[in-house]
Amino acid sequence: MYDWNNFQYVLALNEAGTMKRAAVLLGTNPTTVSRHIKKLNDMSGYMIFVQGQGGEWKITDEGKTLLELASDFQERVDRLEDLRERRSRQETITITSIEFLLTYFLAPRINEAIDCYPDTLIKLRGSDKRLSLAYGEADLALRFARPVEGQLVASKISEMPFYLWSETGALPDAWVGLDEPLDWVPEMQLAHKVFSGPPLVRVTSFAALGEAAAALGIAAVGPERVMSEIPKLKKVESVEPVYREIWSVIHENRRHDKRLAAVREWAKLIV
C-alpha cells in the first residue's frame, strides 16, 4: 500500500528538478528525498524519475500517473487546510427577535449576509423572551420597543404599520387576536378599541392570525408583510393603522466590535 507521505517527495522533485533543491523545498536533506523516491520505485515496480545528462531528474511516463495522484491528494489536503483555517477564524453572531421578524424579514435575505461576511456564522434565534445580550445568549436583538435596561446601545431602524384586515375590506362583527399576555401591545389595543370586546379566537402568531381570520370571515390586526400573503384578506381602510418602532440593540461592551457592527448594518437594511 502506498504511503501518502512519500507523495510530497514526488511533487517536490518534479518541481525542483534535483534532489538538493527538492530537499530545500521540503526542509530536509537530499538523502531523505532519494530514499522516499526509491521506496516508491520499489513499490510501483517502475522508475518514477530518470536523471538526464544535465543532472536534473525528469518524470517518466509511468511516473506521471503517480504525479497526478500526488497532485490530486495535495489539492485535497490544501482545501481541507483552508477550510480548517477559515473555521478557526469564523465567529458566530446570534440575532434574536420575535419569530415573524426572523421569518419574513431576515431569513429571506440571509444569503446577502453570508456573501458579505463569509467567515461569520449567523444564527437566527426566535424567542418571545428577551435573551441576555450581557451574558452572550445573543449578540444582536431586534425589538419592538426601546430597551429600558442599562448598558445597552439601541438605535431605531424602522416603524412598522399594523393594519386591520378582513375578507371584504369592510368592518366585520368579530376578530381574531393573539394570546392574552399580548393584550397590551398596540395592535391588540387597536382591535379591542374597534370591537369593544375580546377576540372570538386567539392564536400565537401573525401567520395563524391571518389564516384564522380568512377561514372565519372575521378581522385581525397584523403587519402587511404577513397578511398581504393571504389572498382572502384586504385592508380595512376605514381604520387607521397603529405603528410599532423596531429597535436594533447590542450590549455596550460590543460597541466597537467591527464584525457585529457590519452584521447590524445588514439587519437594519432588511426591515
Whole-model pTM: value is 0.65
What Rg do the C-alpha atoms of the chain give, in angstroms? 32
Q: What per-residue confidence (pLDDT) applies to 116?
A: 72
Residues 6+ apart with CB under 8 A from 47: 41, 60, 62, 63
> What are the angstrom distances between the C-alpha of 261 and each of 89, 117, 138, 249, 264?
17, 12, 14, 11, 5
Using CA atoms, how far apart are residues 202 and 176, in angstroms rounded to an integer? 6
Domains of the chain: 4-88 (1.10.10.10), 91-158+245-269 (3.40.190.10), 159-243 (3.40.190.290)
Distance, first Cα to last Cα, the chain: 59
Can you say how many angstroms the Cα of residue 3 is from the centroid of all Cα atoms in its chain?
40
Return the C-alpha cell found at 235: 385592508
How would residue 135 be classed by pLDDT, with cut points 50, 70 and 90? confident
Q: What per-residue confidence (pLDDT) applies to 124?
A: 93
Select from 100, 106, 117, 186 the least CA-distant residue to 140.
106
Residue 271 has pLDDT above 70, yes or no: no
pLDDT, tens digit, 9 for 90 and up, residues 145-189 = 888 777 899 999 999 999 999 999 999 999 999 999 999 999 999
How would residue 86 be classed by pLDDT, with cut points 50, 70 and 90? low
Select from 227, 230, 231 the least CA-distant residue to 161.
227
**Beta-bridge partners for 219:** 175
Q: What per-residue confidence (pLDDT) applies to 53?
A: 78
Burial of 28 (0-12, 13-18, 19+ CB in 10 A): middle
